[in-house]
Structure 1
Amino acid sequence: MYRGPIVVFVACLFAALYVLVAHAAPAAEPGSALQIAALPATTQVVDPAQVVHGPMDALFVPSHSAYTPNAVESERWYRLDTNADWQGETSPVLSFTGATYIRITVYAPPDYQPRALWFAQTEENSRFSRHRLAMELPHDLHAGQPIYVQIAADSFTRQIKPALTDLASYQSEDLNHVRLTTMFASVQVTMILAALCLWMVLRDRVLVYFIGYTTFQLMFQMLTSGEIYELPGGKLLVPLGTHAPWLFAALSTPLLVSFILEFCELRQITPTAAKILGWMRWPFLLAALLLCLPFAVRTHLLASSFNVWFMLTELWTLSTVVLAVSRHGRQARFFLIAWMPQVMFTLLRLSQVLLNLDQPRWLEYGYPFTMAFASIVVTIGLADASLRARRERDMAHHLADHDALTGVLNRRALVRRLNAAITEARLQKEPFALLFLDMDHFKSINDRFGHAVGDACLRAVVVAIAEELRPADWLGRYGGEEFIVGLPGASHDNAVAIGERIRKRIETLHVHSRGTTLQTTVSLGAASLDGPTDTADELLARADAALYRAKSDGRNRIVSHPPLAATGT
């Protein structure tokens, strides 16, 4: 039933992603290619002046790799140059991908002054986004002119890749990157605000989980892309360095698991799997605590264990949600559609990190794209859950105010409606009348034919009464075989005329039930609102007195109060 729409949806998802990635793809670079040479790794501190002024040039060893990886224990030095003079129409831009929080210092011509490039740099306004660490080089860059690069030591070895691009192409690509990341972040912020508005009205715990995990995921994404440091207050996160994205990833996961447990109703649908999933979220809180310690980022085992546990948790969560979908969990189906692309891209991203591979462009933009998409679909699911809760609440209110057998107002609701109708009649200075009905000899029907036939007779009488009423009139069951009809705006004479129509209609009514056909009649008492101090109890008492008079006078008739005349057979 759902296979076709899901296939179409996934196809549209990847088509949209392909268009976005193609739009953000860089233009072809000019013919000058970078040549890389590396200074052999050493634990001794190298004086930058000795490197920059040329005495150590002979020690640089040409590299056949396109990367300038950092080292764990010591800084690394690289010399970059081109195999041809720069021929681009605009100045060349030297950029580095994969550096993230590693500090890079570039010594470039003509003055070879140190230029610091750092992901979390906030000291000056950057000309480019933090998509890459980049700086502009002189337009007259010559072949063989050296550029020295000092890459700081870090706790992890990363494949840092330098590239040379003309300024116009780089700015165009950079602008597209900013547009995409801003769009994805804006979508998530919008969904968070929508959920916050829902929470202010509903005060539902599942909305708190959604707001929490989505906010932390957004923070993580903005930390890994660097945009967060452009925002007011971004400087406060700089001291955390590489701790920051790990910390927010660790905090978002238990909130995500808690949200899934509540939103998908896993504890009711898949209790055993849900219990295991609930246990799996607690190690992330311990990881969040450990990641705040100074040694955390230098412990490979901790980082690798976190990634492996994260992958296992996602796979178990996915299996549990799929199991809930197979057991007809409506909310689980919503979440599966929303989360499946994000799970796939998350696992691919973790695999790329663990295997130390280049991040392809479709993965770079696919991951935030699926996060934004998941936020939209889950928000729709939350709205659907809220709508179902509202329908259930309305149904509960309906059942609380209506008679289960006949579907008309019950005694409590009709008394409330009567008080409101009297108040409204006084405000509008309009008349109001009441009919009190009682089925004649109803007990004998139950005794002779059984309660099932009696119930069918009650329902048939209610339908007949309702068909004789005006749109503004209302009907309620006072108890047993007694009914009340409220007639807003009806004068005493109008009430008697409506009551007489009802009496004649029921007199000719044939009730068919369980192979039996029978007829019944009703007696009616009519009363009108009398004076500004008249109460609902007094009005009911007068209508009841008129009904008693109709019964005493032979039944199957209507009597008004005061008893002006009796109508009927």
Structure 2
Amino acid sequence: MKQGWWSLLLLLALLPTMDVRGENIARIDRIQPLALEQQAGQRAGLFSERRFDDGGATVRVIGNGEWRLEPTPGVREPLLVFYHPYTARVTVLDEAEGTPRRRDIFSADLDPQYSRRALVFPLQGDGPVYVKVEGARYPLHVSVESGPSYAVADLWHVRLVLPAIGVVLGVSLAVLLFWAVLRERVYLLYAGAMLFQLLYALCSYGEAYAWPGLSLLARFGAQGIWGTGTLATILLVYLWLDYAGLRRVAPRLAWLVRVVGAYGCGLTLLLLLLPWPADKAWFPDIANALFLLTNAIALVTLVVAWRRGQRHAAYVLIAWVPLLVFTMTRALRFSAGERAEPWLEYGLPWVLAFTAVVLALGLADRMLTFRRERDRAKAHAERDGLTGVLNRGGIEHRLDWALIERQREGIPVSLLFIDLDHFKQVNDRHGHALGDACLRAVTRVISQRFQYGDQLGRLGGEEFVLVLAGVELPAAVRFGEEVGERIRRDCASVEGVPVGVTASIGAAHARDGDTVTSLIARADHAMYAAKRAGGDRVVGEDALSVPSHTTKAPEGAPVD
């Protein structure tokens, strides 16, 4: 995470050195009277009517209306460049050429050798140029550039922007594949939100209309950009709700985010798509107001969720706040008629890539958290609460898996059925608390001394089974003898009370066609043979009449 921050800061520090933009305009004069511009309703984002005074030699921004530009003489292969035209339509009349040229970022006939971050008009001479601007919502930066210099700068633009686009696109498609397999909604919301954020950025830069397939969006014009941005905001709202668990941690604030960000933006998007009202000039101001309000409420909600221990809200804040700052800064600078500095122009796509990567890391952490919770729940469901070893369901599942491996890989499987001798007398004489301590002592002996804790299970009462994968029956019998000897020695006294715990053990070996039930039944049968022989011994299923311990019980000894 820290390396990602340092890489981003290094990139932003280097960006100011990449600016090769020049002005090369001696004078800008307004032709259209100011009153006509006021009637046209020049607006800039959330700001009220904006006036553009006559420029003179110091002003390099122009708004809606007609202008007369005088390029500085002597510029090599001059190009008249309008940066970040967004929805503006620009018509240029070069007296040396004599034919008006009208262009916007939606035009299909833009010169393919340049990117669409600007509208480029080659000039034929040093004479005055007449410009008409229509539909501009932000003041346009205008400059006369040397053709070779602009080509170098534009190549830098492409080289800097394309890798960021590739990062966002690649990560989003990878997460979309996760959704296709896992079918968890948060992955689909992530992919949708990031892809529509990327599409909105590409439409704003104009690059989307040069891509195969996406060029169809040009027919929607500015409304396509507005609709894409609104849909991206709606998807982000639902992503934050699911990703950071806001409904659970801060339900009231989450409801407010959903109402304003999802329902409010959804209603404006519906009105944008409907044929009525026909005039859509109201949409950007309303959409921007909802965007600001949604982000403010979401920011407060995420901070509250983070303070309440929701760690994934912190991922959202780390990823999203830089993108929000860049987006708002860019909009404010354009609205104020200020130029987009290189750190802002190129920082935005890279911050979007940073957002995509951090959120993807958060998804991985979220998946890891859910897996740990699942494993804890599974372990709790499979473990015996008293002894900590596997319960009946857990050990039967392990044995079933071992039988599957035997059938598939030919790995031998043996089973020891362990029953403590005369355990009822321990409970009757010393109480159930000491009896429970004896059970824990027995499981401790088997688990720690023989390192088979994950293969030992308690069927109930004082009955245990031990699954021995990769062990043939003779070796299982010898292993059972060692287990019995350890129990006899280490459990003779428990918590300072002499109890003399011993065990009768039956050993069975898996055969073709065996099931969990049949294998346990044969081992249980061998165990009862050991008890009938006097207990404290091991009996294999292949030699039920031959006890493995030299001590024999007298005739008629009770069996329990």
Alignment TM class, shorter chain as reference: 0.7 to 0.9
Give the secondary structure class of the aligned counterpart of 1:508: helix
Task: Work out whether 1:14 is the aligned partner of 2:6.
Answer: no
Task: Work out whether 1:121 is the aligned partner of 2:107.
Answer: yes
- Paired positions, count: 531
| Residue in structure 1 matched with residue 502 of structure 2 by the alignment | 521
1:24 aligned residue (15, 18, 23): 18
Letter in 1 for 2:13: Y
| Residue in structure 1 matched with residue 70 of structure 2 by the alignment | 81
Give the secondary structure class of the aligned counterpart of 1:476: strand
CA spacing shift, 1:324–1:93, aligned 2, 3 Å: same
Are the aligned partners of 1:81 and 1:147 in contact in 2 as well (CA < 8 Å)? yes
| Residue in structure 2 matched with residue 540 of structure 1 by the alignment | 520
Task: Work out whether 1:508 is the aligned partner of 2:489.
Answer: yes
Q: Structure 1, residues 242-298: CA drift from partner, whole Å, max 9, x if none? A: 111111111111211111011111111112211211211211011112223568796
| Residue in structure 1 matched with residue 421 of structure 2 by the alignment | 440
Letter in 2 for 1:508: R
Where do 1:15-414 residues align within 5 Å?
15-19=10-14, 21-26=15-20, 32-41=24-33, 63=56, 66-67=59-60, 69-71=62-64, 76-83=65-72, 85-86=73-74, 88=75, 90-123=76-109, 125-138=111-124, 141-142=125-126, 145-151=127-133, 153-154=134-135, 158-281=138-261, 282-292=263-273, 301-414=282-395
Are the aligned partners of 2:209 and 2:215 in contact in 1 as well (CA < 8 Å)? yes
Are the aligned partners of 2:315 and 2:362 in contact in 1 as well (CA < 8 Å)? yes
How much identity, in percent, do the aligned residues show?
Answer: 34
Letter in 2 for 1:278: R
CA spacing shift, 1:468–1:326, aligned 2, 3 Å: closer
Q: Identify the range of structure 1 (448-457 vs 383-392) with the bigger mean alpha-carbon deviation.
A: 448-457
| Residue in structure 2 matched with residue 53 of structure 1 by the alignment | none
Cα distance in 1 for partners of 2:413, 2:281 equals 83
Task: Work out whether 1:499 is the aligned partner of 2:480.
Answer: yes
Give the secondary structure class of the aligned counterpart of 1:543: helix
Give the secondary structure class of the aligned counterpart of 1:555: coil
- RMSD of aligned residue pairs (Cα, Å): 3.1
| Residue in structure 1 matched with residue 532 of structure 2 by the alignment | 552
Which runs of 5 or more structure 2 residues have no equivalent in the other structure?
37-53, 552-560
CA spacing shift, 1:415–1:157, aligned 2, 3 Å: closer
Shift of 1:515: 6.5
Are the aligned partners of 2:25 and 2:57 in contact in 1 as well (CA < 8 Å)? no
Q: Identify the range of structure 1 (307-316 vs 342-351) with the bigger mean alpha-carbon deviation.
A: 342-351
Q: Identify the range of structure 1 (510-519 vs 174-183) with the bigger mean alpha-carbon deviation.
A: 510-519
TM-score normalised over the length of structure 1? 0.84
Letter in 2 for 1:554: G
Letter in 1 for 2:315: F
Cα distance in 2 for partners of 1:513, 1:253 equals 66
| Residue in structure 2 matched with residue 55 of structure 1 by the alignment | none
CA spacing shift, 1:277–1:519, aligned 2, 3 Å: farther
Give the secondary structure class of the aligned counterpart of 2:121: strand
Letter in 2 for 1:367: L
Q: Identify the range of structure 1 (395-404 vs 258-267) with the bigger mean alpha-carbon deviation.
A: 395-404
Letter in 2 for 1:332: A
Which runs of 5 or more structure 1 residues have no equivalent in the other structure?
45-60
CA spacing shift, 1:516–1:93, aligned 2, 3 Å: farther
Are the aligned partners of 1:34 and 1:164 in contact in 2 as well (CA < 8 Å)? no
CA spacing shift, 1:298–1:345, aligned 2, 3 Å: farther
Give the secondary structure class of the aligned counterpart of 1:438: strand
Q: Structure 1, residues 523-563: CA drift from partner, whole Å, max 9, x if none? A: 11223456x56655444333323322322333222233332
CA spacing shift, 1:401–1:94, aligned 2, 3 Å: same
TM-score normalised over the length of structure 2? 0.85
CA spacing shift, 1:536–1:242, aligned 2, 3 Å: closer
1:461 aligned residue (413, 434, 442): 442
Cα distance in 2 for partners of 1:187, 1:64 equals 42
Give the secondary structure class of the aligned counterpart of 1:458: helix
